Amino acid sequence: MVLYVLYLTGIAAFAASGVLAAHQARLDPFGGLVLAFAAAISGGTLRDLILDRHPLYWTHDWVLLTVVAATAVATMLLLRHRRLPHRSLMTVDAVGLSVVTVIGARAAVDAGVTPLAVIMLAVLTGVTGEVVRDLLCGQFPPLLLREDIYATAAAAGAGVYLLLHWAGTAPTLTTVVAAATVFMIRMAALHFDLHFPRLAGRSAARPTEPPAAS
């Protein structure tokens, strides 16, 4: 039950990030709803397809779909009355990334795949929603393909999950610690403006950021 609540928290965070991205891109409410669902369920959908798990997890979970819809509507209503800080999207996205990545690692471990495949599936589960969200907003390259420490944070969290799992740590504690690892790495990268060096060198201009929420 605790793990399911944690999972819903991550899904809700990604749904909110979808609406915030739609708001920054000046999309309409329907666009916000589409981005909320795309950000929330894309990663898990890709994971289930790779693992050949059917039916897809969200097609028979009305609670999850309700949480996504309710979060999207609540976020849109909030944005009508308050101007959120510029980094609110990144913070909410970090919450979603941390939880969904680790849930992906847990699903991969349960499927009995190799350790490297666990990390790859965990990262794909965590980052796919962000990629789809950014592309639908017309933001290219998406955050994942820039020099930002994003997928690396997800991979680190998946590695921590594997280590704790092999050590026999309780599943709930394993999930919480691994998710906290992803979140702290991602937030530290944002706070200290940490980036990987770019392939194009220093002379290339950094991609333009989306307009701030208004």
> What distance lies between CA 175 and its chain's CA centroid?
15
Chain centroid to CA 32: 16
> Nearest CA to 172 among 182, 181, 163, 161?
161
Whole-number Å distance between alpha carbons of 151 and 158: 10
The pTM (predicted TM-score) of the whole model is 0.87
**pLDDT by residue for the chain (214 residues), tens digit each?**
788 899 999 999 999 999 999 998 999 999 999 999 999 999 999 999 999 999 999 999 999 999 999 999 999 999 998 877 767 888 999 999 999 999 999 999 999 999 999 999 999 999 999 899 989 988 877 766 665 789 999 999 999 999 999 999 999 999 999 999 999 999 999 888 887 776 665 545 555 454 444 3
